[in-house]
Structure 1
């Protein structure tokens, strides 16, 4: 399976948020390793654990940073709705996995890459860049 690398088009021009988004790519690669049988034994559980920690810290940081940058409250609320939808989807994958259905890992890959990285980060997150950079 292909490994994913950080690309400049993923940047939101904030070093800490970019570092955190690069961590998501590392998690996607951990999952890819599991799907190829190249990860450590029991690694699927560690992918979910890594995601749980990542989601709670990243979403809280990003939302706080947006408030600090003066991003409009109603747009932060919309962003939180997307974050909550991502969280619920991840919890759903975890429940399926915990029930013994390993296909949850395969189904999670396009969600992490497509829905989260491409749609959310390269789409929704790009909307706040002018506030972070002061160029609005």
Structure 2
């Protein structure tokens, strides 16, 4: 009975780890799917102004890239979950009680990348939107050379 309770406790802790990860990743998956559908719609339909079509393409590209960056950083959580599942398959009961102490440092290493999301998102906006890219190149002194902007 104690052995069953230990496994139920472990399954509950695993559910607590997996559910927020899935709950967090679902909006990013939806945004990526909608962004891809927007790109297909833009390519299939003609717009009266080609400049408008270019702006919409830039915005959809920006949307897709801004969702991919956090999506990859959340993959670190899946690494932790895989690490924990591998520990669950061990035969010794002592390992079952030491799962969280063994993954302590791995969790810190993986969660460091979450702090980089607010840093990468503005950089991606600057690099993918042409008006921002022109302004940043002008500030850096590269605005005279048009080949850099393209």
What is the TM-score when the length of structure 1 is the normalising length?
0.37
Q: Which has the higher helix share?
A: 2
RCO higher in structure (CA 8 A, sep ≥6): 1
What is the TM-score when the length of structure 2 is the normalising length?
0.34
Decide which structure has the larger Cα Rg and report it. 2
